[in-house]
Structure 1
């Protein structure tokens, strides 16, 4: 796995771990008395998504990267370009909605709000009620629903060029999963070591994040989207 590819993958992982919506939901689900246990279930569901996506990609490619300038390589760059454009459009749309005074929608935003108990029915209310009772499995389901799938797709397209015959590739993939989960792991560790203090600090942090979440999503989506567009166009032009 070449160094530009490693950089792309690590930047995508950083954007995922800094996404405020999953972290805000995570703080709420671990604020209960069974917080650490529920937090582990959330992290398990979150990490399982990355593992499944990586396994699927490596299975499809056979662990061998496509030849440069070959049709599969060009197709991969085109898909990455499309994802970059979509992320930029998503970020700009949220910015325009916010400026117009309307609440940005979207599947993940609704799930994040419903995790606070604001859902109106259906499966979301079912998950919320189970979480309030201290059930563990709904946290894993919620983690899957809150995945930033646009960024996950960008990571998957990047992994197409991974060479499974090199040991270093597997270290990079593990690092990708760990970095993408780093914010959740940090919160879970803090909660396990200092439960009462951690709950207070995490809830206070969540309050601050609630006021800055939209700016973070817009900046993150546009920044990583422009980066993916730039690298894709550069690759297609070579």
Structure 2
């Protein structure tokens, strides 16, 4: 179990420091529907991470021989492919680092209802290529480790909590100390917007190397 958590830690950090969901959470907090929209977004974000990690864990478990303590060759090659895909995304993000245009959906955040914010949170955690690849990598790490159902569920919970810390911290922190956090959140939002692509390029490159290494180690 401990080794699995160790494998999940860098993947969870990769999801957690995603600039886009943090920016979205901040914008919702500063919007007209601050409380409801931000809470809905956090719920959708967590639910999306759980969905991907759980689904891939179940699929990965079916790829491995229950009597084998080592991951199958199929799981290892899938990890290598995922790692390469993350590195490719890192290159694309680095090339786009000078692009500071605001996505259209961010401009519409001020009008989001709690229900739509929940959907957006789930969408960003599931459909976003980087988060999807990291979630799949986490599911493979859990599902191919030969854990029991309880341990696998606990690993998914740990991964989800670690991956959700920044979004949850922004939402919960604002509810506790809204007036004191508003200036800091504005500054953080501006910095993330200016450095989004560069931050993501570094994160993706590191995560890609980690996942490829795990895949090669399992062959």
Return the TM-score normalized by structure 2.
0.85
CA contact (8 A) 2:82 2:137 kept: yes
Q: Superposed, which structure 2 residues align to 1:2-151 within 5 Å? A: 3-60=2-59, 66=65, 67-68=68-69, 73-98=72-97, 103=99, 113-117=103-107, 128=108, 131-133=109-111, 135-147=113-125, 148-151=131-134
Cα deviation for residue 9 of structure 1 reads: 1.1
Instruction: Tell me how far 1:68 sits from its aligned partner.
Output: 4.6
CA contact (8 A) 2:61 2:144 kept: no
Change (3 A) 1:162 1:44: farther
- CA gap 1:195/1:163 in 2 versus in 1, 3 angstroms: same
Give the superposition deviation at 1:85. 0.5
8 Å CA contact 2:48–2:123 kept in 1: the answer is no
Residue 135 (structure 2) pairs with residue 152 (structure 1) = yes
Q: How many angstroms apart in 2 are the aligned matches of 1:169 and 1:149? A: 19
Q: Quick check: 1:80–1:157 contact (8 Å CA) kept in 2?
A: yes
Q: Partners of 1:36 and 1:181 in 2: how far apart?
A: 18
Alpha-carbon distance change, 198 to 69 in structure 1, aligned in 2, over 3 angstroms: closer
1:139-218 correspondence to structure 2 within 5 Å: 139-147=117-125, 148-165=131-148, 167-218=150-201
Q: What is the CA RMSD across the aligned residues, in angstroms?
A: 2.5
146-155 or 215-224: bigger deviation: 146-155
Which blocks of at least 5 consecutive residues in structure 1 are unaligned? Answer: 105-109, 118-127
Alpha-carbon shift at residue 136 of structure 1 (Å): 0.8
Structure 2: gaps of 5 or more residues: 126-130
Give, in whole Å, the separation in 1 of the partners of 2:206 and 2:49. 22
Bigger radius of gyration among the two: 1
Question: Does the 8 Å CA contact 2:38/2:171 hold for their aligned counterparts?
Answer: yes
- Given that residues 142 and 155 in structure 2 are in contact (C-alpha distance below 8 angstroms), is that contact kept between their aligned partners in structure 1? no
Distance 1:55 1:150, change over 3 A: closer
Q: Distance in 1 between matches of 2:31 and 2:95?
A: 36
Give a deviation string over 1:183-206, Cα, whole Å, max 9, x none: 011111111011222233212111
Partner of 1:121: none
Separation in structure 2 between the aligned mates of residue 15 and residue 234 of structure 1, nearest angstrom: 21
Q: Secondary structure at the match of 2:30?
A: coil
Give, in angstroms, the shift of residue 5 of structure 1.
Answer: 2.5
| Contact kept in structure 1, 2:11 and 2:134, CA below 8 Å | yes
Q: Which residue of 2 aligns with 1:123?
A: none
Residue 164 (structure 1) shift: 4.9
Counterpart of 1:32 in 2: which secondary structure?
Answer: coil
TM-score, normalised by the number of residues in structure 1 = 0.79
1:16–1:180 contact (8 Å) kept in structure 2: yes
Contact kept? 2:53, 2:136, Cα under 8 Å: no
